[in-house]
């Protein structure tokens, strides 16, 4: 490897006359195609005078960001060819979908995945008509667009996705366009700090391109209205070296953009060289480009006396053309499209002229054909150790364990060892707090900022990515998965809600890509939720919320899975299954504190494979119908249910009790609603058709009612769960506050079985007294009563 020449030697006007003309022609072609997508359904080459019948009845889409993105895409093509770069394109302002579609159409990839959108007159017509049209493609850079690995419908995640994409991809450059409106979102503002986590040797590079065009839908953007020096200092402070490209004259802007990209690539090569040849140097300043161009550049300047170009009015459709609009609007649209001189760009068949098409890279160097944007093409199976080797020895149900997540940490440690280049763990500063510290026996947290003597587990290279931003961790992981790798996100249960919307967008991406034949399946998004509602006694009410699973099950059934393993061996089985799966969102909820262990590994494997089942060892209805069904889902609900069963068995030995445990929450749905759901016959065999069911659930109780509303015995199902009651108290008292403790469960049974008579009423009164006594004991001693604190399962 040779040293790169000094950056100051780069020509500030690197384009020759011929090259400049071709670049400008290519950009004009992209702009022409973009306007056509917004407006036309016929007459694509304007071979006859434009008429109203050539236009779409509804004109939908975004123009303001599109010409700037076309400009960027065109120049990235040139720099890819010049340096043979492996580059993908992320459109942060993804609502500028016409730009990505135009870019991939001109380079040929769009036609390869959609043969009906051929590179001729008929194909161009199809390209125009299908955009934002019923049965066609969305106006965003959606999964339907080749080269897209980032849905631009919701803003804020582009830069996190870009950095996630280049982790463990040392030769990949992610060119990430950040809209200046998008830059105002919390996730994007945080994502600038991702450069402190990048390893220049083992990871690729991100080239952020801040598209500063001044406006959002109807307001100016913050970054466009601060002084130039303040903007420059801001990004220097973030650890970047900003290269400015500013203006509106195309000839000047082409030269400036070409020079900025030359400088940026030389910077990136220099950073790689220094990291390899001179390890241990201080963290580099990564290049970025700030493109300041007019919003709606090259579009209508004034319409009906109002300024359009360079204002918020160009954000969406800048010129309304319909039967009811002034006739001059149709003429303006035709003049606008003809200003790109389509006759110079396309031949008589509608194909881009060869001398202009040379601008585009070839083969997989085309950004629309980069395999990383269809990550399933690159996906390698995860090498998983035998999870049964990590089993907890359960010689009898109810032994105390060391913490379910703690046990799984050893399994994940070895997953990392076996997959040193395609598996990472992501989390917001909670890997140790969540009892996954065994991971650090084999890896470190990746960190490229300063390291002090008292720091732990920090190194320039590591398989754990931590930053105190759930948005950032989720975005990194999504970018990592979308480009063909595997990972796990661990998080406090209450704060996973921060990424509700990010999960929502990723789940939609997975759903859409399942329906696109040329898209390949990627590894599942695996989320481990711990520090759960029932064990947040010292943090209190703010840390108590199990509602993420309610949000998850709203998504399509072919995408989402929710697991609540009751003990360590079940969590090991579930974790191994989820890590080996593809194209799902798997949510696992498990406790990290020492808790009872119920099943041997052999029993756990069988139970988790079924997802739901009767625990015969805790039941006594083997030879008859039960009098009562005690159901549970989640580790603490399982504990409280079995404690309740112990009390019932002691006081009512003839009472026939069936204990049903649920690991796979969506087993409760009907088979017609979810592929894991039970058919009615199997559901009734577990829960009966007419017996009372007392169901202790980890989350909000109405979720169980929602999942079982159409079952035969629904009217007899009584659910106890989290009722939004919490404070700083003991963990058992948390169950009491929400009436999901063993005493309330027993009282529920007594209320539903009047045949228990006076003995039942007497026990109920005793239990109510016990609750009062317990509360008084807590107030004095700050802990649970000994008989509760030392409870063990009694068969």
Confirm if 598 and 404 have CB atoms less than 8 A apart: no
Q: Which two tokens stand for residue 92?
A: 């942060």
pLDDT score for 7 = 53
CB count within 10 Å of CB 772 equals 9
Q: Please provide the distance, in angstroms rounded to a whole number, between the alpha carbons at the two ends of the chain.
A: 71
Q: What's the whole-model pTM score?
A: 0.96
* Stated length of the chain: 795
CB count within 10 Å of CB 676 equals 17
**pLDDT tens digits for range 411-447:** 999 999 999 999 999 999 889 999 999 999 999 999 9
Residue among 624, 627, 641, 611 nearest 719 (CA) = 641
Q: How far is CA 90 from CA 84, 161, 265, 668, in A?
A: 19, 8, 17, 40
pLDDT above 90: residue 280: no
What angle is formed at CA 111 by the lines to CA 120 and CA 44, rounded to 5 degrees? 35
User: What is the pLDDT confidence band of residue 544, given thresholds at 50, 70 and 90?
Assistant: confident
pLDDT above 70: residue 297: yes
Contacting residues for 247 by C-beta, under 8 A, at least 6 apart: 253, 256, 292, 293
pLDDT above 80: residue 278: yes
- Rounded distance between C-alpha atoms, residue 132 and residue 155, angstroms: 19
For the segment 500-516, the average pLDDT, to the nearest whole number, is 96
- Rounded distance between C-alpha atoms, residue 215 and residue 133, angstroms: 26
pLDDT above 70: residue 384: yes
**pLDDT tens digits for range 23-45:** 999 999 999 999 999 999 999 99
- Rounded distance between C-alpha atoms, residue 683 and residue 704, angstroms: 14
- Rounded distance between C-alpha atoms, residue 144 and residue 515, angstroms: 9
pLDDT above 80: residue 94: no
pLDDT above 90: residue 279: no
**pLDDT tens digits for range 642-658:** 999 999 999 999 999 99
- Rounded distance between C-alpha atoms, residue 607 and residue 405, angstroms: 19
Strand partners, 734: none
pLDDT score for 4 = 43
Helix (H) / strand (E) element for 253: namely helix 250-277
For the segment 180-202, the average pLDDT, to the nearest whole number, is 96
Helix axes 66-83, 17-39, angle to 10 degrees: 140
Dihedral sign for Cα 304, 307, 310, 314, please.
Answer: negative
**pLDDT tens digits for range 208-226:** 999 999 999 999 999 999 9
Of the CA atoms within 13 Å of residue 503, those in its CB half-sphere come to 26
Q: Which two tokens stand for residue 706?
A: 């929602």
For the segment 695-711, the average pLDDT, to the nearest whole number, is 97
Dihedral sign for Cα 512, 64, 39, 124, please.
Answer: negative
- The SS3 of residue 688 is coil
Q: Which two tokens stand for residue 480?
A: 């990592």
**pLDDT tens digits for range 119-166:** 999 999 999 999 988 888 888 888 999 999 988 778 999 999 999 999
Q: Which two tokens stand for residue 138?
A: 């969305």
Strands (E), 278-360: 286-292, 302-303, 306-307
pLDDT score for 135 = 85
pLDDT score for 112 = 97
User: What is the pLDDT confidence band of residue 726, given thresholds at 50, 70 and 90?
Assistant: confident
- Rounded distance between C-alpha atoms, residue 86 and residue 571, angstroms: 40
pLDDT score for 9 = 61
Q: Which two tokens stand for residue 746?
A: 């027993």
pLDDT score for 537 = 65
- Mean pLDDT, the chain, integer: 95
- Rounded distance between C-alpha atoms, residue 96 and residue 93, angstroms: 6
pLDDT above 50: residue 2: no
pLDDT score for 12 = 85
Of the CA atoms within 13 Å of residue 225, those in its CB half-sphere come to 9
In the block, which residue shows the tokens 């409870």? 791
Per DSSP, the residues of 156-182 read: S-HHHHHHHHHTT-TTEEEEEEEETTG
Q: How far is CA 280 from CA 200, 201, 275, 277, 505, in A?
A: 11, 12, 8, 10, 39
Confirm if 194 and 160 have CB atoms less than 8 A apart: yes
- Rounded distance between C-alpha atoms, residue 442 and residue 436, angstroms: 12
Dihedral sign for Cα 631, 634, 635, 636, please.
Answer: negative
Phi/psi of residue 693, nearest 5 degrees: -125, 120
**pLDDT tens digits for range 601-620:** 999 999 999 999 999 999 99
Per DSSP, the residues of 447-483 read: --S---TT--SEESS-SEEE-S-HHHHHHHHHHHHHT
Of the CA atoms within 13 Å of residue 413, those in its CB half-sphere come to 16
User: What is the pLDDT confidence band of residue 73, given thresholds at 50, 70 and 90?
Assistant: very high
pLDDT score for 682 = 97
pLDDT above 90: residue 316: yes
- Rounded distance between C-alpha atoms, residue 417 and residue 439, angstroms: 9
Query: Which 8-state DSSP code applies to residue 80?
Result: H
pLDDT above 90: residue 768: yes
Contacting residues for 275 by C-beta, under 8 A, at least 6 apart: 199, 200, 201, 281, 284
């Amino acid at each position: 490897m040779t040293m790169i020449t000094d950056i100051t030697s780069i020509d500030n006007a690197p384009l020759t006359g011929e090259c400049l003309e071709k670049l400008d022609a290519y950009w004009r072609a992209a702009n022409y195609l973009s306007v056509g997508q917004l407006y036309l359904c016929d007459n694509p080459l304007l071979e006859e005078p434009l008429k109203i019948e050539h236009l779409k009845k509804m004109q939908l889409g975004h123009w303001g960001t599109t010409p700037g993105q076309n400009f960027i895409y065109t120049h990235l093509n040139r720099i890819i060819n010049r340096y043979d770069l492996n580059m993908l394109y992320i459109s942060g302002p993804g609502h500028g979908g016409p730009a990505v579609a135009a870019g991939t159409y001109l380079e040929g990839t769009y036609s390869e995945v959609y043969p009906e959108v051929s590179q001729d007159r008929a194909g161009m017509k199809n390209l125009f008509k299908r955009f934002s049209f019923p049965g066609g493609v969305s106006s965003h850079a959606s999964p339907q667009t080749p080269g897209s690995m980032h849905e631009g419908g919701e803003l804020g995640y582009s830069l996190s996705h870009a950095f996630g994409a280049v982790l463990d991809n040392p030769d990949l450059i992610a060119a990430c366009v950040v809209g200046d409106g998008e830059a105002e979102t919390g996730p994007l503002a945080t994502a600038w700090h991702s450069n402190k986590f990048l390893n220049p040797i083992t990871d690729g590079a991100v080239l952020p391109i801040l598209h500063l065009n001044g406006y959002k839908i109807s307001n100016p953007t913050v970054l466009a209205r601060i002084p130039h020096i303040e903007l420059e200092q801001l990004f220097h402070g973030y650890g970047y070296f900003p290269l400015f490209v500013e203006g509106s004259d195309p000839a000047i802007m082409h030269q400036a953009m070409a020079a900025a990209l030359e400088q940026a690539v030389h910077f990136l090569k220099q950073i790689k060289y220094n990291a390899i040849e001179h390890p241990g140097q201080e963290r580099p300043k990564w290049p970025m480009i700030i493109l300041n161009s007019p919003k709606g550049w090259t579009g209508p300047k004034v319409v009906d006396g109002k300024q359009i170009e360079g204002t918020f009015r160009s954000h969406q459709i800048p010129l309304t053309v319909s039967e009811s609009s002034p006739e001059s609007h149709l003429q303006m649209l035709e003049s606008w499209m003809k200003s790109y001189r389509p006759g110079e760009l396309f031949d008589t068949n509608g194909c881009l002229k060869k001398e202009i098409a040379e601008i585009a890279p070839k083969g997989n160097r085309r950004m629309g054909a980069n395999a990383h944007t269809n990550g399933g093409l690159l996906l390698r199976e995860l090498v998983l150790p035998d999870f049964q080797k990590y089993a907890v020895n359960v010689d009898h149900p109810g032994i105390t364990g060391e913490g379910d997540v703690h046990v799984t940490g050893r399994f994940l440690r070895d997953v990392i060892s076996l997959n040193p280049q395609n598996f990472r763990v992501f989390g917001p500063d909670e890997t140790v707090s969540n009892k996954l510290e065994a991971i650090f026996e084999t890896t470190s947290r990746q960190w490229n900022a300063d390291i002090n003597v008292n720091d732990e587990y920090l190194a320039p290279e590591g398989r754990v990515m931590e930053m105190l931003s759930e948005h950032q961790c989720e975005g990194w992981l999504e970018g990592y998965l979308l480009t063909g790798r595997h990972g796990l996100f661990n998080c406090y249960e209450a704060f996973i809600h921060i990424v509700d919307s990010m999960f929502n967008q990723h789940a939609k991406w997975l759903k859409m890509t399942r329906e696109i034949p040329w898209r390949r399946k990627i590894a599942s998004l695996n989320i481990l939720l711990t520090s759960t509602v029932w064990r947040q006694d010292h943090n209190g009410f703010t840390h108590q919320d199990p509602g993420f699973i309610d949000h998850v099950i709203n998504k399509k059934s072919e995408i989402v899975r929710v697991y609540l393993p009751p003990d360590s061996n079940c969590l090991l089985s579930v974790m191994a299954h989820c890590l080996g799966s593809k194209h799902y969102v798997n949510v696992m909820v498990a406790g990290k504190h020492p808790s009872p262990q119920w099943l041997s590994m052999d029993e756990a494997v069988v139970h988790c494979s079924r997802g739901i089942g009767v625990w015969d060892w805790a039941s006594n209805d083997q030879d008859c119908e039960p009098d009562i069904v005690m159901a549970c889902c989640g580790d603490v609900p399982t504990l409280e249910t079995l404690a309740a069963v112990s009390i019932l068995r002691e006081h009512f030995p003839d009472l026939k009790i069936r204990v049903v445990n649920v690991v796979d929450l969506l087993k409760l749905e009907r088979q017609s609603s979810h592929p894991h759901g039970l058919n009615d016959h199997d559901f009734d065999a577990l829960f009966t058709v007419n017996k009372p069911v007392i169901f202790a659930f980890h989350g909000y109780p109405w979720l169980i009612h929602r999942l079982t509303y159409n079952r035969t015995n629904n009217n007899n199902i009584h659910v106890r769960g989290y009722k939004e009651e919490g404070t700083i108290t003991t963990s058992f008292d948390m169950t009491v506050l929400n009436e999901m403790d063993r005493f309330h469960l027993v009282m529920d049974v007594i209320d539903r079985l009047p045949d228990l008579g006076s003995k039942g009423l007497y026990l109920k009164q005793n239990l109510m007294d016990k609750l009062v006594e317990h509360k008084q004991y807590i107030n004095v001693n700050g802990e649970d009563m000994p008989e509760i604190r030392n409870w063990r399962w009694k068969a």
